[in-house]
Structure 1
Amino acid sequence: MTSPIITVDRVTKNFTNPAGEQLPVLADVSLELREGEIVALLGKSGSGKSTLLRVIAGLVEPSAGTVHYRGAVVAEPNPGTAMVFQSFALLPWLTVRQNVELGLRADGVAAAARAERALRAIDMIGLDGFENAYPKELSGGMRQRVGFARALVVQPEVLLMDEPFSALDVLTADNLRGELIRLWDLPGFPTKSVLMVTHNIEEAVQLADRILVLDANPGRIKGEILVDIERPRDPRGRQVQQLVDKAYRLLTDAPSTPTVTGPTTEPLPRASVDGIAGMLELLAVHGGSADLAHLATELRFEVDDLLPLVDAAAMLNLASVHGGDIALTPEGHAFVDADIDKAKEIFARAACSSAPLVAAIDRALAGSPKQQLRDGFFLDVLRRGFTEDEARRQLRTAIDWGRYGELFDYDADERTLTRHTFGG
C-alpha cells in the first residue's frame, strides 16, 4: 500500500444558526485517498458531501479534526488539489483559454508558459478550435470540458469533482464520463487520485474503485463499497447490478434512532404529497413491492429524486424498506385503494403519529386560544436545528402535508397557520 495523498482525520464541521447555536453538518469523518484510485462520495441530500469536498480542498475550515496533504496539515487552499464544479463556474467575459489559465495566473506562471500549458490542456480535453470562444457560445458539455481543462492545467495530484455531470443531459454526461476514464488511463496523466461527489449510484459504480456512503444529519461515513470490476463496466452486468443494489441497501438502512425525537432531530424528507402518492401508486401497480434499483431505473430517478419519497413513505408507515426493497404496508395499501376523503384521513393520521414537525404544529395550534399561530413561531423552533433555508423548507413541507391531510391551513399573505378538524 502506498502512503496516502490525502488523510482526513476525524473531521467535524458545524455551522452557526441565527441564534448562535452550532449546527453539525459533518461528524467525525475519517478517510484516506491513495494513489491510483477513484473514490466516490455517495449520500442523500444533507449528508455533507459537498462540504467535505471543500474541507479537503482547504476552502472550508473544519470545526474539529484535520486534513493532511502528503503529511502536512491543510490550513489554506490545498496545493495538491483542483476542483471541478457542477455549475461550470466559468467567467463569461473570458475566453476558453483565459478561463483555463486562471489557476496558472493565480500561481504566478509567466504569460508564455500559461498559454502553452492552457493550449495543451484544451487539446487534451478535446476543445481544439474553441480557444477563443466565450462560454455563451458553448454547449453545457463543452463548458464542463473547459471546467475539466481549468482544473487539470495546474496538474493536481488530486482532482476533486462536485457532481460534475449532474447539470448535463444523459448522453453528454455519459460521453464525459468516458472522457474522464480515457484521461485517467493515459500514461503520464498527472492526477494520481480522484474524489467525486455524486448522487447517481450507477455513476459511482461505473467510475469508482471505492464508494464511501455517507449518512445524513449530520454527515458521517456509513459504509464502504469496493468496486473490483475491470473497466469499462457493463451497466447491465450482474456484478454492477449487485453493487448498485448494495449501495441502495446501505443508503436506506435506518440510521441509529435519535435519543430525543422531535422536529429538529427527525427532519421531514424533501417530498411532496403528490410525489409520495405517485410512488405508492406505482408500487401498487408492481404488486405492492419493488427493488429500489429497478424502480429508480424505471423512473430514471437518481438518489436525490427517489430516496426522499422512500424516506417519507417509510416515516409515515405507508411503506417499509428492507434490504434495498420497498413494499407497501397495510396502511399504504389502504391509502392507495381509498377514495380521496379516506386517503386524506389516513394521511392525516399517519402524519400526526409519525411526522414530528406536523404533529408539533398540530399540537401547538390546538393549544392556541384562536387555534392560529404565525409561521415565525415555528421557524424560531426550526432555526435551532437547521440553517435558515432548511428551516423554511421544513416548514413548507409540513404545510404541504398538513394541508393535504386537512389538519391545518396556511395564509401566505398573513403568514399564519390555522388548525381545523378533518373535513372542516
Structure 2
Amino acid sequence: MSALITVDRVSKSFTGTTGAELRVLDSITLDLHEGEIVALLGRSGSGKSTLLRTIAGLIAPTSGTVRYRGTELSGANPGAAMVFQTFALMPWLTVQDNVELGLAARGVPTAERRERALAAIDLIGLDGFESAYPKELSGGMRQRVGFARALVLEPDLLLMDEPFSALDVLTAENLRNELMSLWTGPEFPTRSICVVTHNIEEAVLLADRVLVLGANPGHLRAEITVDLDRPRDRRSPAFAALVDHLYDLLTGREPDAPEPEPADATPTARPLPAASVGGLAGLVEIVHARGGRADLPDLAAELNFEVDDLLPLVDAAALLDFLLVTGGDLHLTPIGEAFTTAGIQRSKEIFAGQARDRAPLVRTIRRTLEAGAHGTVRAGFFRDLLRRGFSTTDARQQLDTAIDWGRYAELFDYDTNTDRITLDTTSVHT
C-alpha cells in the first residue's frame, strides 16, 4: 500500500538565543497510510507537536523530507487539516464563520462555503449553534467547532495536537467516542488521522499504530501495532497488556542510550524534572503509605491524573534515589524511607545531601557559589549557560526548579529583587 505521508529522516533544529543549535527532532522516518489512525505518544521534550507541524507543512525540517502522495512539501500540506489543543477559534466570528475560514482562504464561492460549512456543523453535532460566538460555547462545543473547521476541508489527513487535553474527563471521553463513530461511518470525509497525545489509554483507544517518541532530541523509539476490534474495551486483558507495555516504554531507559549517573552528569545530560519539592515528597509519602510499592498506572487512576502528570514527580524522586522505577512499578528505597519518615529538619538534611550529590544543576550552582570570592552570582549567568542546551523556556524552568530545591535544602538562597543566587552560610548542610 502506498503511503499517504512519508517522513524521511527528518531532523529539526532551532537556534537558541546564544546562537547554539537546539535539536528538537533527530532523523525520524515514518509512513502514514490511508485507512489508519496513528498516535504519536511521548513525554514532554519528545518533539511530538513539532513533528506534527512538519507533517502539516507549517514547519520546514532542517534536514530530511516530508512527502504528501510522493510530492515533497515546500509549504503547507494541501492534503492535511489540523485540530489544535487550544481550539484556536476567532472570538469575533460566529461558529459558521469560523468553520468557513479555511474554505474562504481557498477561494471557495460563498454559496458552496455555506452549504459545506452547515453540513460539517451538522456532522459534528453543532446544528442550531451556527450563529453562536465562541464565548457562548462550552469547551467541548468549541472543540467541536475546531473539528468541523478541519473536516469541512475534506482533508486526506486529519492532524490533531492533543485535541482532548483541555477538556474535562467526561467531555473528552464523549468526544473521543463520537470521533470513533464518525471514523467508522460512511460520511467521514478524511482518509487518515494522526493524533499527538501524552495519554497512553487514549492512544490505545484511538490508534491502529502507536509511535513512541523518545526525548532530547525527539526520536522514534518504538512502533506498536494495536490489533484490537472497535469499540475497544478498557477492561479487556489485551487492552491492559498494551497499556502496560507502553508504560514500560515511556518510563524505562532506552537500551542504546544509557543515561549518565546523576553524580557524574552535567546539567544538560540529566535535566531536572519539572517537580517541586512538595510534589515529589508527596509522591514518596504515597508510595510509603502503600507499603513501599505502587503500580504507576493504578496510582494515576486512583489520583485522577494522567500518568504524564506524575512522570516529572517520578523522575525527580528517582533522580534523588528516593524511588526505584522498574517498568510501571515504583519501589521505595532505603534513603527514600528515611526521607519520608524523618522529622522536618532531618528530612531537609537528607534532601540536601541527595540534591547536592545527585541533582546536577543544584550541584553546579552550589560549587560555583563556593568557588566565588563573595558566594553570590547573578542568576542570569546560569540562564545563559543553560540556553546553550535548552530553549529559553526550558532553561528558565531548569533554573526555577534548581532554585526551589536549593532553597528548601538551604544550599543557597535567591533574591528576586536583585536576581542573585547566594550561598546559604547559615545552613548546616555543608
| TM-score normalized by the length of structure 1 | 0.98
Query: 2:389 maps to what in 1?
Result: 385
Query: 1:144 maps to what in 2?
Result: 143
Query: 1:368 maps to what in 2?
Result: 372
Whole-Å separation in 2 of the counterparts to 1:401 and 1:284: 21
Query: 1:23 maps to what in 2?
Result: 22
Query: 1:338 maps to what in 2?
Result: 342
Whole-Å separation in 2 of the counterparts to 1:273 and 1:258: 23
Query: 2:420 maps to what in 1?
Result: 416
Query: 1:12 maps to what in 2?
Result: 11
SS in 2 for 1:251: helix
Query: 1:159 maps to what in 2?
Result: 158
Whole-Å separation in 1 of the counterparts to 2:200 and 2:109: 42
Query: 1:232 maps to what in 2?
Result: 231
Query: 1:34 maps to what in 2?
Result: 33
Whole-Å separation in 2 of the counterparts to 1:31 and 1:261: 32
Query: 2:320 maps to what in 1?
Result: 316
CA-CA distance at 1:296 after TM superposition: 1.1
Whole-Å separation in 2 of the counterparts to 1:26 and 1:158: 21
Query: 1:241 maps to what in 2?
Result: 240
Query: 1:57 maps to what in 2?
Result: 56
1:252 equivalenced with 2:251 (yes/no): yes
Larger mean CA deviation between 256-265 and 46-55 belongs to 256-265
SS in 1 for 2:37: strand
Once the two structures are superposed, residues 95-152 of structure 1 have per-residue CA deviations (whole angstroms, 9 ceiling, x without a partner) of 1111001111111111110000000000000011111111111111111000000000
Q: Give the AA of the match of 1:248.
A: Y
Whole-Å separation in 2 of the counterparts to 1:10 and 1:98: 39
Whole-Å separation in 1 of the counterparts to 2:189 and 2:147: 13
Is the CA contact 1:235–1:241 (under 8 Å) kept in the aligned structure 2? yes
Query: 1:204 maps to what in 2?
Result: 203
CA-CA distance at 1:319 after TM superposition: 0.8
SS in 1 for 2:193: strand
Larger mean CA deviation between 231-240 and 360-369 belongs to 231-240
Whole-Å separation in 1 of the counterparts to 2:197 and 2:303: 18
Q: Give the AA of the match of 2:305.
A: F
Q: Give the AA of the match of 2:277.
A: V
Q: Which of 396, 400, 405 is equivalent to 1:396? A: 400
Is the CA contact 2:8–2:66 (under 8 Å) kept in the aligned structure 1? yes
CA-CA distance at 1:281 after TM superposition: 0.4
Is the CA contact 1:279–1:309 (under 8 Å) kept in the aligned structure 2? yes
CA-CA distance at 1:423 after TM superposition: 3.9
CA-CA distance at 1:244 after TM superposition: 1.3
Whole-Å separation in 2 of the counterparts to 1:167 and 1:229: 27
Once the two structures are superposed, residues 382-403 of structure 1 have per-residue CA deviations (whole angstroms, 9 ceiling, x without a partner) of 0111111111111000001111
CA-CA distance at 1:254 after TM superposition: 1.6
Is the CA contact 2:297–2:307 (under 8 Å) kept in the aligned structure 1? no
CA-CA distance at 1:188 after TM superposition: 4.4
Once the two structures are superposed, residues 258-316 of structure 1 have per-residue CA deviations (whole angstroms, 9 ceiling, x without a partner) of 57931122211111111100000000111111111111111122133111111111111
Query: 2:296 maps to what in 1?
Result: 292
Once the two structures are superposed, residues 187-225 of structure 1 have per-residue CA deviations (whole angstroms, 9 ceiling, x without a partner) of 142211111011111111111111111111111111122
1:348 equivalenced with 2:352 (yes/no): yes
Identity fraction in percent: 62
Is the CA contact 2:296–2:307 (under 8 Å) kept in the aligned structure 1? no
SS in 1 for 2:302: helix
Is the CA contact 1:44–1:303 (under 8 Å) kept in the aligned structure 2? no
Q: Which of 283, 292, 309 is equivalent to 1:279? A: 283
Structure 2, unaligned stretches of length 5 or more?
A: none
Query: 1:125 maps to what in 2?
Result: 124
SS in 2 for 1:267: coil
Whole-Å separation in 1 of the counterparts to 2:223 and 2:305: 23
1:179 equivalenced with 2:178 (yes/no): yes
SS in 2 for 1:101: helix
Q: Give the AA of the match of 1:402.
A: G
Query: 2:169 maps to what in 1?
Result: 170
Number of equivalent positions: 423
Is the CA contact 2:361–2:402 (under 8 Å) kept in the aligned structure 1? yes
Larger mean CA deviation between 361-370 and 349-358 belongs to 349-358
Whole-Å separation in 2 of the counterparts to 1:221 and 1:355: 28
Q: Say what the alpha-carbon RMSD is for the aligned residues.
A: 1.2
Is the CA contact 1:16–1:23 (under 8 Å) kept in the aligned structure 2? yes
Q: Give the AA of the match of 2:40.
A: L
Q: Give the AA of the match of 1:150.
A: R
| TM-score normalized by the length of structure 2 | 0.96
SS in 1 for 2:228: coil
Query: 2:43 maps to what in 1?
Result: 44
Whole-Å separation in 2 of the counterparts to 1:298 and 1:40: 25
Q: Give the AA of the match of 2:98.
A: N
Query: 2:272 maps to what in 1?
Result: 268
CA-CA distance at 1:17 after TM superposition: 0.6
Whole-Å separation in 1 of the counterparts to 2:187 and 2:144: 20
Whole-Å separation in 2 of the counterparts to 1:170 and 1:15: 35
